Amino acid sequence: MDAKDIEADLIRVHCTEEQIQTRLGELAVEVWDHYEGKDLLLVGVLKGAVMVMADLMRHLPGSAPMDWMAVSSYGSGTKSSGVVRILKDLDADITGKHVLIVEDIIDSGLTLSWIRANLSSRNPASVEILTLLRKPDAAKVEIDTRWVGFDIPNEFVVGYGLDYDEGYRNLRDVATLAPHVYS
């Protein structure tokens, strides 16, 4: 669906479908150059990263495998606690592989910093992070993120894989959700 289909639920669009595709195209070229000749594995975090993974991969000018993890943050409410439980682990061993974690958004950074530490402990050749979105004003921990699509304000956004209560993931753009939807 498009932002105009659900206009009343949104406040403003941060990145349109076109802007996202253009940016992912640029990032894909940088990623491909960086890993030239190396054993690259793309690791996505379910479910938010499905769109980023699908489009980033298709922008790559060559073949690379993907794998997926699903995690849940312990703790109540909408705030990430940083204590993470693995719901679905990777299918394959990552020893000696160059792992690129593909994420939808870095908010507090707590979840991703746990995932990075967890993957780093499995003896990969390297672990880097690519995220489509980052909220610099929400950061609670510093994360070395090699590739960032867009920095956005500290607002609750939906679309392009990002959900509110499992809805809105199929919005083509990224937009701020109107508070009346969740209050």
Which residues make up the interface to ligand IMP (CB under 6 A)? 48, 80, 104-112, 156-158, 162
Please tell me which residue in 33, 107, 165, 173 is annotated as part of the active site.
107
Rg (CA), the chain: 16
What is the smallest separation between the CB atom of 48 and Mg ion, expressed in angstroms? 3
User: Residue 20: which of Mg ion, ligand IMP, none does it interact with, CB under 5 to 8 A by kind?
Assistant: none
Shortest Å, Cβ 123 to ligand IMP: 25
How far apart are the C-alpha atoms of 127 and 98, rounded to whole Å?
6
Q: Binds 106, which of ligand IMP, Mg ion, none (CB < 5 to 8 A, cut-off by type)?
A: ligand IMP
Alpha-carbon 108 to chain mean position: 13
**Which one, 47 or 98, has the nearer CB to Mg ion?**
47
What's the token pair of residue 32?
């491909």
Collapsed DSSP state (helix, strand, coil) of residue 53: helix
**Does the annotation count 55 as an active-site position?**
no
Cβ proximity to Mg ion, 48 vs 159, nearer residue: 48
Q: How far is the CB of 168 from ligand IMP (least distance, A)?
A: 9
Cα separation, 28 vs 32, whole angstroms: 6
Residue nearest to Mg ion (CB): 48
Q: Which residues bind Mg ion (CB under 5 A)?
A: 48, 104
Q: Least Å distance between CB 130 and Mg ion?
A: 13
How far is Cα 8 from Cα 49, in angstroms, rounded to an integer? 25
Q: How many helices (H) and strands (E) does the chain have?
A: 4, 9
> If you search the block for the tokens 């070395």, which residue do you land on?
144
Nearer to Mg ion, 9 or 104 (CB): 104
Q: Which does 108 bind (CB under 5 to 8 A by kind): Mg ion, ligand IMP, none?
A: ligand IMP
Nearest by Cα to 125 from 155, 93, 79: 93
Give the residue numbers marked as catalytic: 107
